[in-house]
């Protein structure tokens, strides 16, 4: 199966340069998969690299560089057989040694995906075209973990990522961190006929309205992460359309439980009850979301803890918790940014309600440029954005376990990590549901994030762009849209 393949009403047309307006940029932009932290990093990486597996529109793991994968009876040993004939951009063949090097990097140096491979005990060559993963404990959804972007496969021994070499659809020509990225078609890409376009260009426009204006003016073909009036403008346009992808991703206010004053549980609970979630969904997101309840599981998921009361705007409860918090008139600073989709809007909604109950909430608006590397998680209260993952197990491992690099709230709870490990190894539906109920209860009681909604990705797409379909792990077809897009005449 080709990742992202789908039927078309018209035959795809080759040619053209695909121009994409992205929402975040920084001098720390990178092509190193282990350090990718922003949506733009993910989009760039998907243009250059492949992983062992990919995720289809139903959030299922399908073959990518691995044409076949299979567990043993215990799900502690997984064999991945590699495709034959795959070559890196420099002409060298894909080998098991490249896979071993790429995955083990997460265990031997700085990595934002280290939690994904924490359960990997070893990786060995299993012949000339396959690798064997031995896990510490069972993982029934391990192929989904190997689809995660941080698990992209690079050449053995690679240390310089300024001119990246991968097996993916594009070769990079220009990479100016925070400024511009351009690439050209990999003429020897292993996926038949892909990509259709001659090249791509990523143009950073952190201001949402600027992205919409560029799309409607014809300066770009794709504009990511729209909200509010931007959604209205594109939906009413005769030259562009919306691509909506329901997901379990979200923007939030994350609250460091190990810093003052955000270590104060009553203050965190007060903010949770000052969030007008319905207003955020209906006005800011134009209904392209479902209500959040400060836990990372969709309310429509069979794993969602239905025993947790839905939090709503409740000024009286907020006042009660503020009284117990003892904050008084001291300003509470919250760092907000356009780097998180709707992040500033979340802050403004909270600030308006806080003023009505006597909480002095001071918004510190900071540029999107460099936010994820230099601001996010560095202060007691700040915006966060969580990119959806293909499985709840992966979501928990990346963002909530105590050893995760993305656990910026420093959330911990007795027994939580053990529950996550047990859930990952559990096939039986009822037991798995019970474990997820317990984990959500621990998160809900601690309230390390105010999560107002589980947001759909809403992207703007010029009418002449064809071939991109929603994939629920990222915008523009799961960050993989450039491989599948083509430009109609």
Determine the Cα–Cα distance for residues 23 and 225; give it in Å rounded to an integer: 7
Q: Which residues contact 7 (CB under 8 A, 6 or more apart)?
A: none
Q: Which residues contact 344 (CB under 8 A, 6 or more apart)?
A: 336, 337, 338, 363, 365, 383
Question: Do residues 136 and 128 lie in contact, with contact meaning Cβ atoms separated by under 8 Å?
Answer: no
CA-wise closest residue to 450 among 249, 254, 250: 254
Determine the Cα–Cα distance for residues 313 and 307; give it in Å rounded to an integer: 19
Angstrom CA distances, 260 to 275, 332, 350, 483, stand at: 21, 10, 19, 46
Helices 265-272 and 315-325: crossing angle in degrees, nearest 10, is: 160
Query: pLDDT value at position 1?
Result: 36
CA-wise closest residue to 229 among 284, 273, 157: 284
Please name the helix (run of DSSP H) or strand (run of DSSP E) that holds residue 250, with its range, or none: strand 250-255
Round the CA-based radius of gyration of the chain to a whole number and report it.
22
Pairing outcome for strands 17-22 and 199-204: parallel
Quote the tokens at residue 158: 């690679």
Phi-psi region of 33 (alpha: psi -120 to 50; beta: other; left: phi over 0): alpha
Query: pLDDT value at position 349?
Result: 98
Query: pLDDT value at position 337?
Result: 95
Query: End-to-end alpha-carbon separation of the chain, Å?
Result: 28
Query: pLDDT value at position 58?
Result: 86
Question: Do residues 229 and 342 lie in contact, with contact meaning Cβ atoms separated by under 8 Å?
Answer: no
148 exposure class (CB count in 10 Å sphere: 0-12, 13-18, 19+)? buried
> 323 in helix, strand or coil?
helix
pLDDT tens series, the chain, 489 aa: 344 443 445 789 999 999 999 998 788 899 999 999 888 999 999 999 999 999 998 889 999 999 999 999 999 999 999 999 999 999 999 999 999 999 999 999 899 889 899 999 999 999 999 999 999 999 989 999 999 999 999 999 999 999 999 999 999 999 998 889 999 999 999 999 999 999 999 999 989 999 999 999 999 999 999 999 999 999 999 999 999 999 999 999 999 999 999 999 999 999 999 999 999 999 999 999 999 999 999 998 999 999 999 999 999 999 999 999 999 889 999 999 999 999 999 999 999 999 999 999 999 999 988 899 899 999 999 999 998 988 899 899 989 999 888 999 999 999 999 999 999 989 899 999 999 999 999 999 999 999 999 999 999 999 999 999 999 999 999 999 999 999 998
Quote the tokens at residue 242: 């919306």
Query: pLDDT value at position 57?
Result: 87
């Amino acid at each position: 199966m080709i990742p992202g393949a789908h039927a078309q009403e018209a035959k795809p047309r080759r040619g053209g340069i695909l121009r994409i307006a992205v929402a975040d940029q920084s001098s720390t932009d990178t092509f190193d998969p282990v350090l990718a932290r922003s949506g733009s990093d993910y989009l760039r990486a998907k243009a250059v690299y492949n992983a062992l597996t990919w995720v289809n529109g139903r959030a299922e793991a399908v073959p990518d560089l691995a044409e076949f994968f299979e567990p043993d009876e215990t799900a502690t040993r997984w064999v991945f057989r590699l495709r034959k004939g795959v070559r890196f951009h420099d002409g060298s063949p894909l080998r098991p040694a490249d896979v071993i090097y790429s995955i083990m990097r997460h265990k031997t140096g700085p990595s934002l995906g280290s939690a994904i491979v924490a359960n990997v005990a070893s990786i060995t060559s299993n012949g000339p075209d396959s690798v064997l993963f031995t896990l510490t404990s069972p993982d029934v959804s391990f192929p989904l973990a190997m689809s995660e972007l941080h698990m992209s496969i690079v050449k053995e021994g690679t240390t310089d990522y300024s001119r990246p070499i991968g097996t993916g659809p594009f070769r990079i020509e220009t990479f100016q961190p925070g400024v511009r990225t351009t690439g050209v078609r990999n003429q020897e890409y292993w996926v038949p006929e892909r990509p259709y376009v001659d090249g791509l260009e990523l143009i950073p426009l952190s201001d949402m309205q600027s992205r919409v204006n560029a799309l409607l003016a014809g300066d770009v073909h794709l504009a990511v992460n729209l909200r509010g009036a931007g959604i209205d403008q594109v939906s009413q346009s005769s030259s562009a359309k919306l691509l909506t992808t329901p997901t379990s991703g979200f923007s939030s206010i994350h609250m460091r439980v190990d810093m003052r004053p955000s270590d104060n549980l009553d203050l965190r609970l007060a903010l949770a009850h000052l969030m007008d979630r319905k207003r955020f969904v209906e006005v800011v997101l134009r209904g392209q979301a479902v209500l959040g309840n400060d836990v990372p599981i969709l309310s429509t998921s069979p794993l969602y803890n239905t025993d947790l009361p839905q939090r709503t705007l409740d000024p009286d409860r907020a006042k009660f918790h503020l009284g117990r918090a003892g904050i008084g008139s001291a300003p509470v600073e919250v760092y907000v940014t356009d780097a998180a989709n709707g992040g500033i809007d979340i802050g403004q909604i909270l600030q308006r309600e806080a003023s009505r109950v006597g909480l002095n909430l001071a918004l510190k608006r900071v540029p999107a440029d460099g936010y994820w590397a230099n601001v996010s998680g560095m202060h007691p209260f700040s915006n966060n954005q969580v990119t959806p993952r293909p499985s709840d197990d992966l979501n928990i491992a990346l963002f909530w376990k105590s050893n995760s690099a993305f656990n910026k709230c420093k959330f911990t709870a007795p027994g939580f990590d053990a529950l996550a490990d047990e859930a990952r190894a559990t096939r039986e539906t009822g037991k798995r549901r019970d474990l997820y109920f317990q984990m959500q209860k621990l998160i809900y009681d601690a309230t390390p994030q105010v999560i107002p909604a589980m947001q759909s990705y809403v992207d703007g797409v010029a009418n002449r762009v064809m071939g991109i379909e929603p994939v629920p792990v990222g915008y523009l077809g799961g960050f993989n849209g450039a491989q599948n897009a083509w430009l109609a005449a």
